[in-house]
Structure 1
């Protein structure tokens, strides 16, 4: 049917996801250089980051609709071209060019790639949904690590355009190659010799394959949507502001560098670990545990003057934040089925647009008027609230009936 192993499809999705991760996880290392070189205020760059979140997350639903109908190949190739052009546009000294080609077109391309890649776990691995979705989602963190070190150790205001142009070429070429490998199985496909009965108590609560219209008519979807907004907003704030926060407290620059690189490593690892935990304990328990701990460690980080304790708490917080990007796709497939997983998750993922408004512009405004500490305290409470919301679904999953139509 495929001509090669489904694990090769997983690898291609992993690599494509890894190469768009600098859009989000290297931004706190890139943006100060761009601001200094062009004499732009950091809140202008905060506007660009907000555009990224809006258009990257906004791409998920239309991409999901098209992907469920036509497959991921062409969409990934187009996304790779847009993403490469977007990263290259950061070499420009024109703010409108950054807005158009990075904030809008490049970010939309990154969202196309993200949507195609993250749903591979639901499509090809119903037997390992949490683990494989965690691996792919983890790539969206880990892929930025070499680029963060490259930028932080070698880039300055005079040579950063050269470095970013090389990153753009690498990203575009690798993603296009991966696009030719990606494809979806036929609807209703299951791994050879595997039955959903093997999941036991972790089997889907309903065998119905919900389309997105049926999905959004269930109240459980809107609980998930609210939780996604809360947890994504808290984490996006932390990612985009962590270097500035560390500098404002007076920690040495190495703390900011370690936080920027470490957050990519730890929250990527958290996606796999908690994804696997969810395969064993259940989606709701894993999500509640992860999100409450995320908020708890973020709260603790605001009350210390020790750089070691601060860094440890931030990295632990982001370890438990990252799993949202593996656990939400997994629970959507678990609740609503595999056939329309990309479009269903695309609707849910649009909540990241609201989270991005908080993580970018709104949190920057809070920091200006309330200070870093109060803003991060609010973020910690948002994370804990998200976890408690998910707990309400444990004994009330969506069950199909004719009233859903």
Structure 2
């Protein structure tokens, strides 16, 4: 049996790091109830803790991405490991609610660093024609999928051993970050670029250099080059590695950003309001529980399966069609749910979750293809900041819409926005970057 290529071992370790960071988003629903009981915190106060997490997790990624692209992932992952441990440990030993909020925000910093390093590892290691979409989907799936293993354990132990459980959880995710710091490296062809940056400096439109790939050296120095071992759309031209200041001047960035706002907004609306949505359509509490579980499972499956299809059909086409199907599935769910058809409702909502999540596996590869892998971390982090307005849409705006329009009309509106986001994704075209850092759309695409 042939040995697993080292680049795929790096991807698997990156997925482990991603999963540890993702627990902060997905186990909070299990932790928050016990925290509320211990400190007498209200639901809005607990919601504020989660909001602080979302802000720190999201806004950390742009500076972390810039640091990773310039200096490599090792020191960043050491910081992430500390923050991931301190977040859970701090909540476990906290003696006041403000300390809980502060600790969880620190965990958000660790989660943001883990996310931006992990999600951009495949685009640096796996060539476009080497199942890059599948690799990115695998890493992204771990963000939610890993928590499926932890949630049942937490529910059984938080009430009886709150502090011990969170200290243990912090230790597990912290060790995962340390393992990432030891094993995750960028390909050796990035080393020349980083040395040039350190010795001579450059501005945002400077070109990136190419070279031959190499394997990571656990415990060794970080090394980088703009791409992997095979030619890629944007990376065939060595000058294509530009930074976020150039990226935001292209129309493709703003399409990607708008789509991400919609995907995050409607997605968080669906995840956060799934129980209320189900009962609001006069379906039973047991159906609501089933829907919540189906969303979590379908979300992870979709990002892996559909992202893998992008290797064959192209990222723009795959993401666009997937989002259109997501919108259609959600609208169908509202239609059948309003008529009391429980089983079709669960299937349709699960399908909506399945077709929504692939964007998070496909867009990092598109950003690398459009603007170059050398600075993909900072560039995708700029796109990912759409999670902040998306969170406002999925929380505050969604709540106001439900009060004003009702459950059905609000989710029909969300379904329509998803279809428009899918159509917008289909108009995307690769970016051509010349030696002076000027950008334009490629003629043939």
Answer whether TM exceeds 0.5 for this pair: yes
Q: Distance in 1 between matches of 2:49 and 2:281?
A: 25
How far the C-alpha of 1:110 sits from its partner, in A, is: 0.3
Among candidates 145, 149, 152, match of residue 142 of structure 1: 145
1:61 is the counterpart of 2:94: no
SS at match of 1:335: helix
Q: Distance in 1 between matches of 2:396 and 2:34?
A: 19
Gap runs ≥5 in structure 2: 191-209, 215-227, 440-445
- The 1:6–1:278 alpha-carbon spacing in structure 2 relative to 1, beyond 3 Å, is same
Gap runs ≥5 in structure 1: none
Matching residue of 2:186: 184
The two structures have a TM-score, normalised by structure 2, of 0.80
Contact 2:277 2:407 in 1 (8 A): yes
Contact 1:134 1:271 in 2 (8 A): yes
For residues 368-379 of structure 1, what are the structure 2 equivalents within 5 Å?
370-379=405-414
For residues 337-352 of structure 1, what are the structure 2 equivalents within 5 Å?
337-352=372-387
Matching residue of 1:169: 171
Q: Distance in 2 between matches of 1:372 and 1:162?
A: 41
Q: Distance in 2 between matches of 1:230 and 1:190?
A: 39
Tell me how large the CA RMSD over aligned residues is.
2.7
Q: Distance in 1 between matches of 2:395 and 2:31?
A: 15
Q: Distance in 2 between matches of 1:247 and 1:60?
A: 36
Render the CA deviation track for 1:230-263: whole Å, top value 9, x for unaligned. Answer: 1111112222332444455565555444444433
1:399 is the counterpart of 2:400: no
How far the C-alpha of 1:162 sits from its partner, in A, is: 4.6
Contact 2:118 2:139 in 1 (8 A): yes
How far the C-alpha of 1:48 sits from its partner, in A, is: 2.4
SS at match of 1:21: helix
SS at match of 1:210: coil
Render the CA deviation track for 1:302-323: whole Å, top value 9, x for unaligned. Answer: 3313332232222211111111
Shifted more, 238-247 versus 211-220: the winner is 238-247
- The 1:151–1:173 alpha-carbon spacing in structure 2 relative to 1, beyond 3 Å, is same
How far the C-alpha of 1:36 sits from its partner, in A, is: 4.8
Contact 1:17 1:139 in 2 (8 A): yes
Matching residue of 1:51: 52
The two structures have a TM-score, normalised by structure 1, of 0.87
Contact 1:119 1:341 in 2 (8 A): yes
Matching residue of 1:262: 294
Shifted more, 159-168 versus 277-286: the winner is 159-168
1:226 is the counterpart of 2:229: no
Larger-Rg structure: 2
SS at match of 1:340: helix
Contact 2:61 2:113 in 1 (8 A): yes
SS at match of 1:399: strand
SS at match of 1:339: helix
Contact 2:158 2:165 in 1 (8 A): no
Render the CA deviation track for 1:311-337: whole Å, top value 9, x for unaligned. Answer: 222221111111111111011011111
How far the C-alpha of 1:372 sits from its partner, in A, is: 4.0
Contact 1:13 1:182 in 2 (8 A): yes
SS at match of 1:132: helix
Among candidates 360, 378, 384, match of residue 419 of structure 2: 384
SS at match of 1:40: coil
Render the CA deviation track for 1:23-66: whole Å, top value 9, x for unaligned. Answer: 22233344344445544333333322222222211111101100
SS at match of 2:432: coil
Contact 1:12 1:179 in 2 (8 A): no
Matching residue of 2:115: 114
1:356 is the counterpart of 2:391: yes
Q: Distance in 2 between matches of 1:51 and 1:278?
A: 34
Matching residue of 1:28: 29
Q: Distance in 1 between matches of 2:287 and 2:40?
A: 25
Q: Distance in 1 between matches of 2:400 and 2:166?
A: 29
Q: Distance in 2 between matches of 1:21 and 1:218?
A: 31
Q: How many equivalent pairs are there?
A: 393
1:129 is the counterpart of 2:132: yes
Q: Distance in 1 between matches of 2:273 and 2:163?
A: 23
Matching residue of 1:289: 321
Name the one with the larger helix percent: 1
Matching residue of 2:222: none
Contact 2:18 2:142 in 1 (8 A): yes
Q: Distance in 2 between matches of 1:362 and 1:93?
A: 34
Contact 1:225 1:351 in 2 (8 A): yes
Q: Distance in 1 between matches of 2:413 and 2:391?
A: 15
Q: Distance in 2 between matches of 1:294 and 1:160?
A: 39
